[in-house]
Amino acid sequence: MNNSDNSNGFQSSFELKTVLETSRLLVESRDTSFILNNLLLMLMGRLLVSKAAIFVYDPVSEKYSLKKAKGFPEHSEGNEYEVITHAEQKKLSHLPVRDGQNVFPESLTDEENSLYFNLRTSNNHHGFLLLGPKANNKPYEKHEIEFVEGLSIISTAALVNSELFNELNKTYRNLDRRIHELNTLFDLSKEFNLLVDREKISRIFKFALLGQLFIRKFFLIYKNQDEISLLASSGLSTEPDAGQIEQIFSDSDQEVMLIDDEFRQNNPWVQENEIVALIGISIQNEKVAVIGVGERVNKIPFSENDFNFLKSLANLAVISIQKTYFLEERIDKERMEEELSIAKSIQEGLLPDPIPQIPGADLAAKTISSREVGGDYFDIAESPDGNSIFAIADVTGKGVPAALLMANMQSMLHLLLPVDISFAEATERINSIIFKNTPPDKFITFFWAKYLSDHKILRYVNAGHNPPLLLRHNSDTFEELDKGGLLLGALETIAPYEQSDVQLNPNDLLVCYTDGVDEAMHPIDQEEFGTDRLRKSILKYRDKSCAEILDGIVQDVKSFSNNRLTDDLTLLILKACE
């Protein structure tokens, strides 16, 4: 074997050893910069090249980025270059720079004997390795080109592995961050669930924004029913007025809204306070809150993950805030129910119990309120002359206001009992007091009577009340007791009230009732019970005791309305005895 063969053998052995050592070094490395730097240094040292560069291809932008360069001071790493190669050129192992083969519009070198080497794996093109001329300016020999190609293949594989490894690390880091965020949200949800104080919830929300996302400036606008208000804020130079709050709430029509110039022009307060994004919070498809945030303290822009975390955190806070309002409403409701229960017991205490007995007559009375308290009223009392007075009334409206007016009515009646005046004059006094001391939309229908038991005479005044029905013994015809005057409280007394006397005979039946009886509604036909049905009920039960007649009428009304009483119902029934 001659010396030339020995020299080529030595070179091949040396190059093979270099390729193997490089392969081991690069494959074990996960540092892209280290891989590219070592490739250039190894080739430049081995081939005595003074200029070399590596370009990595981005398939998305279809551009090449200069990742490593040595000997090109006028070109900076990171520069991007347009692709002007043909698809076939990307498949070649190497390309000469001369003869129009320079793949970049701005040539890094056009020196003779410069070569581009294709950085590729079995299926994909990843970039180019540019080698300038050797120090002796001689063309690259075959074994040298093969040596470069071998190292290029190994380096490209190492580069791909490094990129995959880095991408995997990035995925792991993002996963770790998401796990951390989920743990944070889980801990905060437990903390929020224990709180019923909106101020404390807002404080925890503020600390979470600062600790997790480095946000110092924020505001929380909350809508409770029809009221929109600034519920919490931090770091703001000024607070928005009511108009600005409503404007921001209505203009934020997206889940995540980055503040643009148009929004800043329409909402200058947002610009003054350097708010950069708004997050809308909806519950059951209804927007209930808007969160505004300033830029982060570290100046890092918000990512999609940041906004997702912010939305989740804001949802937890808003749901907890909403819970406090629901709790307050529940407490208020329970307090109201307790007060109504007390009012009901007081109102029931104002009604006669047990029902007093009237000499020479059978008597029964009952009121059923459609709510906890009602505006119907009946009373039975003994007058100073030893006779009995009974009354029935219906206050306009329902609930507490009607019950209060009913209580006043009861007080006035008992105050006037010992006064020696006629029924008509007493009714006028009651009307004057109610007219002067109640709103114009509040009035009372009122019927009261004195039963003179020795003579079985009924003296009465009807002030706009449903005329009581008088059914004579052995007759199916009803008489209506309608003499009197205007209902109480509607107008000042203009004409005097008229009182009237009615002679009762044994077994004559008088039924007094409020409009909760005749106006009870059929749930399907939307038809009222009416006085005709009431009269039929009275005729059906006329031979029974007053208590049985009352229960029969109530049962008929309830059956007709399917137990849905929309108004207070009161009955007072009197039957003259033998």
Length of the chain, please? 578
Q: Which residues of the chain have pLDDT under 70?
A: 1-29, 83-90, 98-110, 171-172, 174-182, 185, 339-340, 342-344, 346-349, 371-374, 397-399
Give per-residue pLDDT as tens, 272-317: 899 999 998 888 888 899 999 999 888 888 888 888 888 888 888 8
Q: What is the DSSP string of 12-56?
A: HHHHHHHHHHHHHHHHH---HHHHHHHHHHHHHHHHTBS-EEEEE
pLDDT one-digit tens code per residue, 119-155: 888 778 888 888 888 888 888 888 888 888 888 888 8
Concatenate the DSSP letters of all residues of 265-309 into one string.
HH-HHHHHTTEEEEEEEEETTEEEEEEEEE-BTT-PPPPHHHHHH
- Looking at residue 215, the DSSP 8-state letter turns out to be B
Read off the DSSP letter of residue 180.
H
- Of 458, 440, 441, which is closest to residue 449 (Cα–Cα)? 458
Place of tokens 């003994």: 382
Amino acid in position 92: L
Map out the domains of the chain with their CATH numbers.
Answer: 3-166 (3.30.450.40), 195-326 (3.30.450.40), 351-576 (3.60.40.10)
Residue 460: what pLDDT? Answer: 96
Judge if pTM exceeds 0.75.
no
Sequence-distant (6+) residues with CB within 8 A of 482 are 462, 467
In angstroms, rounded to a whole number, what is the distance separating the alpha carbons of residues 167 and 170? Answer: 5
Q: Which two tokens stand for residue 75?
A: 């070109």
Minimal CA–CA distance to 561: which of 529, 515, 516? Answer: 529
DSSP annotation string for 240-260:
--HHHHHHHHHH--SSEEE--
Q: Which residues contact 60 (CB under 8 A, 6 or more apart)?
A: none
| DSSP letter (8 states) at residue 379 | E
Distance, CA of 35 to CA of 163 (rounded, Å): 11
SS percent in the chain: helix, strand, coil, step 5: 45, 25, 35
* Rounded Cα gap, residues 365 and 174, in angstroms: 78
Residue 175 is predicted with a pLDDT of: 66
The neighbour count for residue 558, using CB atoms within 10 Å, is 15
Rounded CA separation 159/29 (Å): 9
CB contact burial 427-458 (16+ within 10 A = b; e otherwise): bbebbebbbeebeeebbbbbbbbbbbbeebeb
Question: What was the pLDDT predicted at 549?
Answer: 96
CB of 151 closer than 8 Å to CB of 19: yes
